[in-house]
Amino acid sequence: MNHARLKDIAGVTDAGRRRAANDDRMAWDAQLGLALIADGVGGHNAGEIASLAAARSIRADLRMALCAAGGERAGNRQERRAALVHELVRRANSRVREAAGRSLALAGMGTTLALALLDEDFATIASVGDSRVYRMREGELERLTHDPFALAGMIERGCVRAGEARRSGLKNARGRVLGMPGRIEPDLTQHPLAPDDLFLLCSDGLISAVTEEEIGSILREAGTNLRHAAERAVALANGRGGRDNVSVVLARVA
């Protein structure tokens, strides 16, 4: 199966100003067209273990699956990619649960996931939980994932304004994470690729402190310097209190 050629990829992660540990994990493989972020949850460093287990599982299983495929097969490539991503998420969920079962200190741990897998002419985007994926195309930023929160859904539908939600004291629940019992179904979409498409993956430490308008401005001003753009975004989140771990991965299509 062919993969998109990535012109550049960069990522920055930081524990923030109020957390001793960083439970976020970034991973990418330019050769496979993969980028992902996992944001772990759980005490006693369990969040760090959960996110690491998920990231390692997906990268290793993807490489093995694509090597085993050996080349193009008959049939719909998008359907095959969607099935592959569902299987990668299923296996990652199982591995996080297996790791949690090895110690009482790890019981109940989990991790969000945001993933972009780029083929030669389309992208498969998957998410579990509140980590996000955006696409910048011709200077316009578009969110490709949706937060699985009741409150977020109310805001998106126009039932509640964002400012009113903040003033009301309502809080979002984390929602689904890898590591939960049973089968996990990621939110999955597929999108045609265009030259110079720029994908941004981030944990909620960014989006809780930085607006989408500010993210778009940072990306436009940074131009081709993806590392600088990621550093600026993380620094802005930290400058506003750094209440959470914050991670940003940027990948540009050739």
- The string of pLDDT tens digits covering residues 28-71 is 999 999 999 999 998 778 999 999 999 999 999 999 998 887 65
CB proximity list for 67: less than 8 A, separation 6 or greater: none
- Tell me the three state secondary structure of residue 199: strand
CB proximity list for 13: less than 8 A, separation 6 or greater: 22, 24, 25, 26, 234, 245, 246, 247, 248
- Is residue 92 scored above 70 in pLDDT? yes
- The residue ranges of DSSP E strands in the chain, in sequence order, are 6-14, 24-29, 34-41, 110-111, 113-118, 122-128, 132-137, 140-143, 187-192, 198-202, 246-253
Q: Look up the pTM and report it.
A: 0.88
Q: How far apart are CA 20 and CA 61, in angstroms?
A: 31
User: What domains, with CATH codes, occur in the chain?
Assistant: 6-253 (3.60.40.10)
- The string of pLDDT tens digits covering residues 202-246 is 999 999 999 999 999 999 999 999 999 999 999 999 999 999 999
Which pLDDT band, with edges at 50, 70 and 90, does 176 fall under?
confident
- What is the β-pairing status of strands 24-29 and 110-111? unpaired
Q: b vs e for 23-56, b when ≥16 Cβ sit within 10 Å of the residue's Cβ?
A: bbbbbbbbebbbbbbbbbbbeeebbbbbbbbbbe
Q: How far apart are CA 234 and CA 12, in angstroms?
A: 7
Q: Compute how many other C-beta atoms are within 10 angstroms of the C-beta atom of residue 128.
A: 29
More confident of the two residues 27 and 71: 27
- Is residue 158 scored above 80 in pLDDT? no
CB proximity list for 90: less than 8 A, separation 6 or greater: 183, 184
Let me know: does 209 contact 237? Beta carbons within 8 Å. Answer: yes
- Mean pLDDT over residues 187-194, rounded? 96
CB proximity list for 166: less than 8 A, separation 6 or greater: none
- The string of pLDDT tens digits covering residues 111-145 is 999 999 999 899 999 999 999 999 999 999 999 99
